[in-house]
Amino acid sequence: MKFRKLICSAVAGVNIISVAVWVILTAYGNSIAESQSYNYSADRWDDSGGSAQISCFFTEDSGFNTDISGGVRADILSQLKNISIVPEEGKELIPEAYSTPAGKMTVRCDTTGRSEAEVTAVGGDFFLFRGFTLLDGSYFNSDDIMQDGAVIDRNLAWSLYGSYDVAGMNIYINGTKFYIAGVIDNPQTKEEKQTAGEFPKAYVSYDGINLIQGTESAQESGRIKKITVYECIAPNPVENFAYNAVSEYLKSYEGKVSVISNSERFKPSVRAKTFRKLSDYAVADKPVVYPYWENASRIAEFKLSGIYFYRRLTYVIPVLTVLWLLFLLYRLIEKTRRKLTDKTADAVTRVIYNHNQKKYKEQ
């Protein structure tokens, strides 16, 4: 009896530990996933959960540019129209964004501040997708009449003016005048700090890059038009609709583009399945340009693949325990059934015996 109690206590203890490990791994995994906020743009845009975010990363020589990027959205809209999904009046159905690194440039202010910065050309609803923390001012967008606004990070603001409360002040990027539209915080997560580097950052429109480089030279080089990152948020009426639509449209860029469904990438079921293929995943099969926020998310994917794979292992003991309990229940039922059968047989035998005895006496 004592041995049985000891076994039951041990089984209960192991199950409690398994559940505790599951809770810890789940909480840790959720914190890593949620820290990569750019992957949740679809949730910020459509809180009903009916949309998906898709990101496309191109090689430098892909040829994808601002002249043809609108075809992606047009194609998805056409497919949605075929199933009677159309934009509501006054509301955008498929926001999109695009960007490309413009290189390191010299930035100075109206006083003596001066710094080198990594400048990125952006278009569409770029800041909708980023999840940046805005410290001062506001974002610019492609609808602004003047395209001379710049969004800079805290590092650059402090290097130039010794403060981040500088919205509206002037800066000069390679000698071209811009005003500071907004100031964003530096990357905060461990993964983003690892991939963003120490260089200050500035974001200007494609027209702004054109102003910096000069219209003629920019058009000749194609720099003003090149897109290395394209993103969109689209309705997802059936599973993987948005991802499949974008992938199909970009199939002519095979080998020059990597298409990712941000809305699916951190799901435990997806990450656990890829754990055994991490070595293949780690080897880039195309020279795609990944911005720091995507590289940070890829690091998070590596971590989550292991976390969610080992979390699955915590199911083993509870499952075995349930099977063991079912086996014990089966044995108990069988034992009870046999006892009932034996008792019933004995009762029937006694009835027959008494009946025969009574009949014998009557004769």
Q: Report pLDDT digits (tens) over 279-320.
A: 555 555 568 879 999 999 999 999 999 999 999 888 888 888
Q: What is the pLDDT of residues 175-193, one digit of tens each?
A: 999 999 999 999 988 899 9
Lowest mean pLDDT among 178-187, 190-199, 254-263, 347-356: 347-356
User: Is 80 exceeded by the pLDDT of residue 151?
Assistant: yes
Residue 267 predicted with pLDDT over 80: yes
**Burial category of 283 from C-beta neighbours within 10 Å (exposed 0-12, middle 13-18, buried 19 and up):** exposed
Which of 210-219, 222-231, 351-360 has the least mean pLDDT?
A: 210-219
Q: Give the number of other Cβ atoms within 10 Å of residue 353's Cβ.
A: 10
Structure tokens given for 227? 């897109």
- Averaged pLDDT for residues 93-118: 93
Residue 220: pLDDT band with limits 50, 70, 90: very low
Q: Cβ distance 57 to 257 under 8 Å? A: yes
Give 246's Cβ-side CA count (13 Å radius). 27
* Least reliable range by pLDDT among 110-119, 330-339, 347-356: 347-356
Amino acid 357: pLDDT: 67
- Answer with the residue of higher pLDDT: 9 or 214: 9
Q: Tell me the CA distances in angstroms from 169 to 137, 149, 160, one per residue in order.
A: 10, 10, 11
Region 49-65 average pLDDT:
94
**C-alpha to C-alpha distance for 53 and 297, rounded to whole angstroms:** 14
Identify the pLDDT of residue 333: 87
Helix (H) / strand (E) containing 51: strand 51-58
Asked whether 120 and 290 are in contact (CB, 8 A), the reply is no
Position 171 confidence tier, pLDDT thresholds 50, 70, 90 = very high
Percentage above 70 pLDDT, the chain: 89
Percentage of the chain beyond pLDDT 90 is: 56
Confidence of residue 216 (pLDDT cuts 50, 70, 90): very low
Mean pLDDT of 68-97: 91
Largest CA distance in the chain: 131
Q: Looking at the predicted structure, is the pLDDT value of residue 356 above 70? A: no
> Distance between CA atoms of 305 and 206, rounded to whole angstroms?
37
Higher pLDDT, 360 or 49: 49
Q: Taking 90 as the threshold, does the pLDDT of residue 345 lie above it?
A: no
